[in-house]
Amino acid sequence: MNIPSQGKTLPSPAARPAERSEPRCGAGLEVRALLPSDTASWEAFVQSHPRATLFHRLGWKRVLETTFGHRPHYLVATRAGGLRGILPLFLCRTLRGRLELHSLPHSVYGGPVGLDDAAEQALVESAVALAGARGATSLELRNRHKNLLALPPLDGCATFEKELPGSVGEVYKTFPKKAREMINQARKRHKLEADFEGTLEEFYPLLASSYRKLGTPVFPRRFFAAMARRFPRDCSILLVRHGGRAVAGVLSLSFRGTMMPLYSGEAPGVHSLKANNFKYFRLMERAVELGMRRFDFGRSRLSNAGVVDFKCNQGFEIEALPYQRLGLAEPVEAAPSDPNTGIYPRLRSLWSRLPLPLANAAGPALIRFFP
């Protein structure tokens, strides 16, 4: 089966072949499942390819496996024994009981990464066949960068990334005037301090409290423990302290010179301290101290105006993410529902009023069904 070129229509689901047990080949390319013997070449490929992300690393595969129990299907494209492309995939079950194939679930980025378009096309062809054979209703690719594969776009998400200055002293100048005022209040009026040796024990309650307030199920604690275990040099927790008490925190991962603050939390009733403005300012300073070149503020839904505005007010520009989603069921399934529209705001409001212990107990069990 061929993924269509630009401008051509997608084939109907009935035209999709069943999964094959043998490798899929074409144009000298062979696509097959990842083998243990591929580990070193996969990791080297990720480290060297300009469009690969931290989420393509095999350590992230193990984080997702151990935390959520989704089934991995990692594919490699080879030619004459040499690695030409990779595609990390997980088969996930949704709350409605449907199966979906994701690259990658519970992750900001994913998608195929190849040395050429032919390798990426061959990988996606195999992914479509795999999804059909497993009974998946859709294939979702969370691409960081655009590709030439004519798959339906999945709009609505953006990322925020910019280059860091060359010295710590220049970081403050990169913030707009209003953001600098907030930073000054945090430093001078409220005497906030940054603790770069934060622990998961102090950070997780801040995260859980914030997620409950937002009406969102929280990730299990073991998710973050697995990150620290798999990426000991690249995972860090910054806590903001007020009078010694941790009032805000952010867990970050770094990859190839880019700092990525991925998970953030704040204690109830401390908004006036401007801890969020302060922590990202200090985290950028820390990134420059460590020799990092870029700061990736992470993905946000464009419908989440408050978060988008906050990131823009810190001096970042909106960059739409070129996610793609191919429906495989008949009739073709609609795109995933936006949690900021329809009935979801009401459900989130109800969740935000749950007692915190109940939200913390139920959230980790539910979140795996929202990949």
> Would you say residue 338 has pLDDT above 90?
no
pLDDT value of position 23: 54
Give yes or no: residues 115 and 207 share one domain.
no
274 shares a domain with 175: yes
Q: Which two tokens mark 168?
A: 């710590």
Range(s) of the domain holding residue 240: 161-296
Residue 274, domain member (yes or no): yes
Beta carbons of 123 and 113 less than 8 angstroms apart = no
Residues 47 and 133 grouped into a single domain: yes
pTM for the predicted model, two decimal places: 0.90
| Same domain, residue pair 195 and 285 | yes
* DSSP line for 198-216: --HHHHHHHHHHHHHHHT-
pLDDT score of 333? 65
3 within domain boundaries = no
Q: Same domain for 135 and 165? A: no
The answer to the question of residue 41 being in a domain is: yes
Tell me the percentage of the chain whose pLDDT exceeds 70. Answer: 91
Looking at the fold, whether 92 and 144 belong to one and the same domain comes out as: yes
Q: Tell me the backbone φ, ψ of residue 290, rounded to 5 degrees.
A: -85, 0
- In a domain? residue 370: no
Encoded tokens for 175: 């913030």
Residues 92 and 166 in one domain: no
Rounded Cα–Cα distance for residues 162 and 295 (Å): 6
The order of strands in the sheet holding 245-255 is: 161-163, 294-296, 258-266, 245-255, 235-242, 193-195
Residue 15, pLDDT score: 35
**pLDDT at residue 106, as a whole number:** 97
Q: Are residues 146 and 17 in the same domain?
A: yes
| Rounded mean pLDDT, 111-118 | 96
Give yes or no for residue 339 having a pLDDT over 50: yes
Please check whether residue 225 lies inside any domain of the structure: yes
pLDDT, tens only, 1-59: 444 433 333 333 333 333 333 456 666 899 999 999 999 999 999 999 999 999 999 99
Measured on CA atoms in the order 23, 11, 85, 98, is the torsion positive or negative?
Answer: negative
% of the chain residues with pLDDT over 90:
83
Q: What is the mean pLDDT of residues 71-99?
A: 95
- Domain co-membership, 266 together with 286: yes
Give the length of the chain: 371
Residues 21 and 123 in one domain: yes
Q: Are residues 129 and 35 in the same domain?
A: yes
Is residue 224 domain-resident?
A: yes
Closest CA to 273 of 244, 242, 250: 242
99 close to 135: Cβ distance less than 8 angstroms: yes
Whether residue 308 is contained in a domain is answered as no
**Integer angstrom CA distances of residue 115 from 50, 51, 119:** 10, 10, 7
Question: Residues 10, 152: contact at Cβ < 8 Å?
Answer: yes
Residue 197: CATH number of its domain? 3.40.630.30
Mean pLDDT score of the chain = 91
Strands 294-296 and 161-163: antiparallel
Q: Is residue 122 part of a domain?
A: yes
**How far is the C-alpha of 262 from the C-alpha of 297, rounded, in Å?**
8
pLDDT digits (tens, 9 = 90+) for 263-320: 999 999 999 999 999 999 999 999 999 999 999 999 999 988 999 999 999 999 999 9
- Count structural domains, the chain: 2
